[in-house]
Amino acid sequence: MSTTETSLKQRGAQFGSTNPTAGLKTTTTMGKEFKVPDYTMKDILSAIPKHCYERSLVRSLGYVVRDIFFMCLIFWTGNKFIPQVQIDGYETASWVARGALWMLMSYGIGLFGFGLWILAHECGHGAFSDYQNINDFVGWVLHSYLWVPYFSWKFSHSKHHKATGHLTRDTVFVPYTKKEWLEKHNVLKASELLEESPIYTLAVLIFQQLGGLQFYLATNATGQPHPNHSWFAKSHYAPSSPVFDPHHYWFIVLSDIGVGITAFVVYQWYKHFGLFNMMVGWFVPWLWVNHWLVFVTFLQHTDSTMPHYANDEWTFARGAAATIDRNFGFIGQHIFHDIIETHVLHHYVSRIPFYNAREASAAIQKVMGTHYRYEGESMWVSLWKTLRMCQFVEDNSSAPGVFMYRNSNGIGVKALD
The predicted structure's pLDDT at residue 18: 67
- Confidence at residue 173, expressed as pLDDT on a 0 to 100 scale: 87
Q: How far apart (Å, rounded) are the C-alpha atoms in residues 368 and 357? A: 16
CA distances from 376 to 210, 281, 333, 357 (A): 25, 33, 14, 18
- The residue among 73, 151, 155 whose CA lies nearest residue 111 is 73
Largest CA distance in the chain: 87
Distance separating the N- and C-terminal Cα atoms of the chain? 45
CA angle 144, 150, 154 (to 5 degrees): 160
Euclidean distance between CA atoms 253 and 258, whole angstroms = 9
DSSP single-letter state for residue 34: E
| Beta carbons within 10 angstroms of residue 307's beta carbon | 26
CB 304 within 8 A of CB 30: yes
Q: What pLDDT score was predicted for residue 13?
A: 46
Determine the Cα–Cα distance for residues 145 and 139; give it in Å rounded to an integer: 10
Instruction: Output DSSP code: residue 401.
Output: T
User: What is the rounded distance in angstroms from the CA atom of residue 102 to the CA atom of residue 38?
Assistant: 52
Q: What is the pLDDT along the chain (417 residues), one digit of tens a residue?
A: 333 333 333 434 456 666 889 989 999 999 999 999 999 999 999 999 999 999 999 999 999 999 999 999 999 999 998 876 665 656 656 788 889 999 999 999 999 999 999 999 999 999 999 999 999 999 999 999 999 999 999 999 999 999 999 999 998 888 988 888 887 766 444 444 445 566 766 777 777 777 777 777 777 766 666 677 776 777 888 888 888 889 999 999 999 999 999 999 999 999 999 999 999 999 999 999 999 999 999 999 999 999 999 999 999 999 999 999 999 999 999 999 999 999 999 999 999 999 999 999 999 999 999 999 999 999 999 999 998 999 999 987 778 899 999 998 889 988 876
Side chain identity, residue 86 = Q
3 state SS of 20 = coil
d(CA 225, CA 278): 36
| Sequence ranges of the domains in the chain | 55-146, 159-324+375-416
Quick one: pLDDT at residue 233? 72
> Tell me, what's the pLDDT at 200?
67
Question: How far is 216 from 226, CA to CA, in rounded Å?
Answer: 14
Helix (H), strand (E) at residue 291:
helix 284-301
CA angle 146, 150, 314 (to 5 degrees): 115
Q: What is the DSSP string of 237-290?
A: T-TT-TTS-GGGHHHHHHHHHHHHHHHHHHHHHHHHH-HHHHIIIIIHHHHHHH
Residue 398 has a pLDDT of 79
In the prediction, which pLDDT does 7 show? Answer: 37
pLDDT at 340: 97
What crossing angle do the helices spanning 284-301 and 198-219 adopt, rounded to 10°? Answer: 100
